[in-house]
Amino acid sequence: PADARAAGRRSRVGIMGGTFDPIHHGHLVAASEVAAEFDLDEVVFVPTGEPWQKAGREVTEAEHRYLMTVVATASNPRFTVSRVDIDRGGPTFTIDTLHDFKRLRPTADLFFITGADAMAQIMSWKDVEELWTLAHFVSVTRPGYSSEDYGRSHQISLKEIPAMAISSTDCRTRVRAGKPVWYLVPDGVVQYIAKHRLYREESDRSELSQ
């Protein structure tokens, strides 16, 4: 925002929503690439609230996902983390996230960053039309998912990024199987997962307070 003020223009703010269970280098590369291409002043990572479940599994408690996102983004001065979706509670809907950001950053142009898989989900909702009035969407390529051209170039930009064949699901599976996640997630996140024994058997897990 300071840069934007100095340049006499509206600030440009990216919003990177995700479960971040855990955050990995695919998320970070996507945010970095879009920030460079769209000349963003800031990218805000927004961990989702706690749904009852996601695709039939328990999602790790929000505070762990929030703290891992803080650890992963701390070294980048343009990356920040927002609690809006966590503090709202319940399952997260992008429309609510965007309404909150419009209120919190009334003078910013918003860029909502998604992978090709998440963009396809958004397009399947009813009432998508309101989304375009709140933000510009940037759909980044992701290995294993086809990047669809929705023919809405004013509302959705397609951005090719270096292919990072990493998913949080795979990271969780690897930890549970005792395999390394070094270099798939930032070093501090490897250490956070080990410290709190995340992604182990339920009975094996420590509480955040311990």
Which residues form the interface with ligand ATP (CB under 6 A)? 18-21, 26-27, 30, 114-115, 117-118, 140, 142, 164, 166-169
Question: Within a 13 Å sphere around the CA of 34, how many CA atoms are in the beta-carbon half?
Answer: 32
H or E stretch covering 98: helix 94-104
CB of 19 to ligand ATP, least distance (A): 4
Name which of 4 and 43 has its Cβ closer to ligand ATP.
Answer: 43
Name which of 11 and 32 has its Cβ closer to ligand ATP.
Answer: 32
CB of 161 to ligand ATP, least distance (A): 6
Q: Tell me how far apart the alpha carbons of residues 208 and 155 are, in angstroms, rounded to a whole number.
A: 40
- Is 34 within 8 Å of 140 (Cβ atoms)? yes
- Is 44 within 8 Å of 97 (Cβ atoms)? no
CB of 143 to ligand ATP, least distance (A): 7
Q: Tell me how far apart the alpha carbons of residues 135 and 156 are, in angstroms, rounded to a whole number.
A: 9
Name which of 26 and 186 has its Cβ closer to ligand ATP.
Answer: 26
CB of 22 to ligand ATP, least distance (A): 9
Name which of 11 and 141 has its Cβ closer to ligand ATP.
Answer: 141
Question: CB nearest ligand ATP: which residue?
Answer: 115
Name which of 169 and 191 has its Cβ closer to ligand ATP.
Answer: 169
CB of 7 to ligand ATP, least distance (A): 29
- DSSP characters for 163-197? -----HHHHHHHHHTT---BTTB-HHHHHHHHHTT
Name which of 72 and 118 has its Cβ closer to ligand ATP.
Answer: 118
CB of 95 to ligand ATP, least distance (A): 15
Residue with tokens 């709190």: 196
Q: Tell me how far apart the alpha carbons of residues 134 and 148 are, in angstroms, rounded to a whole number.
A: 21
Other CB atoms within 10 Å distance of the CB of residue 29: 16
